[in-house]
Structures are given as structure tokens and as C-alpha cells.
Amino acid sequence: MRLRGFFLPSLKPRPFLPPRPAPSNQRRARLSDGPAPRPLIGPDVLVQGRSFPRDDFTNVTPRILEKVGVNLHNEKQHPLWVIKERIKEHFYSSYVGRWGNPLFSVHDNLSPVVTVQQNFDRSKNIKKYYYLYFSFSFHRTTMLRAHTSAHQRELVSAGLDAFLLAGDVYRRDEIDSSHYPVFHQMEGVRLFSDHELFSSVDGGQVLSLFEGSGWRTEQKQQVHTLETVKLLEFNLKDTLRSLVLTLFGPEVELRWVECFFPFTHPSFELEVRFRGQWLEVLGCGIMEQQILHSAGAGHKVGWAFGLGLERLAMVLFDIPDIRLFWSRDERFLRQFRGDDLHRPIRFQPLSRFPPLHNDISFWIPDSFSQNDFFDLVRNIGGDLVEQVTLLDQFTHPKTGRRSECYRIVYRHMERTLTQEEVRTTHEQIERAAESELGVHGRY
């Protein structure tokens, strides 16, 4: 008997990864690179040399696993590296310790394989995230991190009071010019003792971080005093405002939006007005005291933020499509090279090649999820796929069967695609949708 479905009805096993030929880029690698590499997904899932038994909940795809360990943010002169270095430099020069040492340590090489507990993911939502291996224990169910906040607790447990952490993060999402299933974030955390928080305030000696009989309200957590929250919030917003002014220049317009995260309260998002549009660049807030407590730092309080490196880079350098970050084309990469980290950079677009589009429509089973389909399209079509949009939905008046029609736009970033190439890829997508997602094609 399978008990998983019983305890976790939302986690229905799905026929997501039946054995099938490796994608063409893997096949090519096999022909040219000597001995055949072990496939990334067989009975086990292989991630950075570690092996995880594949089970019904494994939903990572070879295309995604190929990106693990690439670490674009660590590739010197890559635009994500340039942004990361500018942020690091700002923190290094603005916040120094008593001995002139940088206050914030920087970490950019932590493995993206985390447990669902680290990821603050109680939902185990296979539609939104990539899982490697399921277990009843929160400590053993593994996934690819969906945000860099997944490392907050371990770095605080290691005794760090102020740190920045950059890394690749993975989410199953829609397909368009600003969404890619792998993107990069930078996390910042700063903790304060009562002395550190109150020493700059007149009469601060009488203030305390915690209160015994408080309430959780919209403004604060139960254990925090209002003074604690207000000072932390001021320090957090001041730190982020100053970072954004450094990156975007003094003209930039900002606004704070209240929001919710399970690991901070209160929580905010920062939006930047750039070329007429409000763009969300980061989420942040006052760290949940329970997290600090479980990390052995319950006597301190702290704030945290997480910002999207692609979002910042797209705006700052005028990069129109998020797929470009993965380009190996010299005409793209060379535009970011140079000795001066702070030189103004404005991306000169490569010629724009014509798009080709093809529609696909099918009857869908009840278990159908759009993110499964998007993932399948990305897995087969790779970076040839620019956008997938739902064109039409239809419910048969008699049978109640539902059908959906999607338009897939194909466009290569570096050359003109042939009709033949697109047709082959599109047909592969049609076949795989039938065999893997249980849809019935109307083609």
C-alpha cells in the first residue's frame, strides 16, 4: 500500500519522467566527448556528484539539472557577476566593523540542493518547485532551493551576524522574456544585540528587544517591543535605499509595499520606478524570532532581504530577454567585460531574429497543470522557446471534457531558425505531452 497519497493528498504521483531518450544536447555530448557521461536522471538523480533515488515526486528535468553548478554569478565579467560585485563593493565600503574590517561576509558557493525545511516550504508544491527526493521527514525531502532564504538558518547557526549570500534558485513558472526556471538571488541578513540596536539612541539603555506579554499585530511579532521593530525597520529600509541609490543613481524613485513571507514579519517589497514602470526588485522584513531561536541566536533580533539579480541587471544594463543571461555568444558576453567595475554599461542588442510560432491544442486530464506543460516545453525546446501563452480554453458542452490551446513562440537569440527545426521540436513536444502528461492531442 502507498501511504504517501493518504497523508499528503495534494502530492499525487504523476507520470512525469518516464524513461526517454536523452535530449539532443546530451546525445551530442556523448558523441563528441569520449566516454558516455552518466545520465543526469536514471534510477537515480545525479546532482553535482551526489546521487538521489528517483521516486514518484522527482520532477527535476535534465535541462534543469544541466544548469546546477554553472553558477553564472561566479563567472567573472558575466553581467550577473558584475551586479553581484557592485553590491558586494557597496556593502564592503559602507559597513565596516570596529577594526575596519567589512561587516558583511559574502557566500556564493552553497549547494542549491536543500531540504524542504530549509526552503521554508511546508506545502511541498510540485507545481511550483523542483523536487529531487521525497521522504516523510522534512529534514530528508530534498529540492532545488526556490530562494536564497533557504540558507538563512544554517548561516546564523554557524555564528554569522551579517552576511550576503548569492546563488542560483529554481522555480517552475510561466515562459516569457522575464521568467526563466533558473534565476539568481542575493540574500542579506543582519543581526543586532540590544547594545548594537539601541546604543545610538538617546536613553537607549532603558530599552529592551523583547517583551513578555505582547501581541502579534500587523506591525510586529509577539515577542518584539515596538521600539525594536521600528529601529530594525528603519535600519533595513535605510540600508536598502542606499544600495538602490548606489546602483541606479540618485534620480531613482522608490516605493515600499507591504507583503507577506513566512520567515519575516512585518514584510515589505521594494519597487523601483525605472523608465516609467514600477518594478519589484526585492522582498525583505524582520526575521521571525522563532528562526533565530532555532539557530541558537534567540537573544538577538535581525532583518533579512532577498533581491533578484536578473531583475536588477535587466533594468540597469537594458537586457531585454532573460534567456540572454545563459548565452555563450561573444557578442553578448564581451559587452560586460572591462577593468572598471563601475563603468556605465548599456547593452547593444544583437540583431533580432524573426520568430516562428506554432499552436498546440489538446484535451486535458484532471491532473493537468500548466507548469508541467511549461516545464516539458522548456525541457524539449530549451532556449529556442521565447514564450508560451494560453490562447483558448474550451469545455465540451456534452462530455464536460476540457481542452486548451497554447501558442509557442520560437526564436533563437543568435541566429535565424529554420521551419524544419521548429517543426521537429514542435512535434517532439506534441508527442511528449501525450506520453508524459496524458493529454489527447487535437492535432
Residues lying near ligand FA5 in the complex (CB under 6 A): 147, 149, 171, 173, 179, 183, 185, 187, 261, 264, 267, 280-285, 304-308, 310-311
Nearer to ligand FA5, 197 or 309 (CB): 309
Supply 386's cell numbers.
Answer: 521565447
**Residue 228, binding choice from ligand FA5, Mg ion, none, Cβ under 5 to 8 Å by partner class:** none
Q: Taking CB positions, which residue lies at the least distance from Mg ion?
A: 283
Per the DSSP assignment, residues forming a β-bridge with 105 are 163
CB 166 to ligand FA5: min, Å: 12
CB 255 to Mg ion: min, Å: 14
Supply 5's cell numbers.
Answer: 497519497
CB 31 to ligand FA5: min, Å: 34
Which amino acid, 401?
R
Nearer to Mg ion, 158 or 257 (CB): 257
Query: For the range 61-66, what are the long-range contacts, defined as Cβ-Cβ under 8 Å and sequence gap of 24 or more?
Result: 61/17, 61/375, 61/378, 61/379, 62/22, 62/23, 62/26, 62/379, 63/23, 63/378, 63/379, 63/382, 64/130, 64/144, 64/170, 64/181, 64/182, 64/379, 65/40, 65/41, 66/25, 66/40
3-state secondary structure of 186: strand
Supply 16's cell numbers.
Answer: 512525469
Nearer to ligand FA5, 113 or 284 (CB): 284
Nearer to ligand FA5, 90 or 426 (CB): 90
CB 395 to ligand FA5: min, Å: 30
**Residue 147, binding choice from ligand FA5, Mg ion, none, Cβ under 5 to 8 Å by partner class:** ligand FA5
- Cell match 496524458: residue? 438
CB 231 to ligand FA5: min, Å: 18
Distance CA 106, CA 112 (A): 16
Q: Taking CB positions, which residue lies at the least distance from ligand FA5?
A: 308
Binding mask 276-295 for Mg ion (x = CB under 5 A): -------x------------
Binders of Mg ion in range 186-225 (CB under 5 A) = none
Distance CA 222, CA 289 (A): 9
Nearer to Mg ion, 257 or 391 (CB): 257
How are beta strands 385-395 and 264-274 bridged, if at all? Answer: unpaired
Supply 157's cell numbers.
Answer: 547557526
3-state secondary structure of 204: helix
CB 389 to ligand FA5: min, Å: 16
Nearer to Mg ion, 283 or 285 (CB): 283
CB 89 to ligand FA5: min, Å: 20
* Binding residues for Mg ion (CB under 5 A): 283
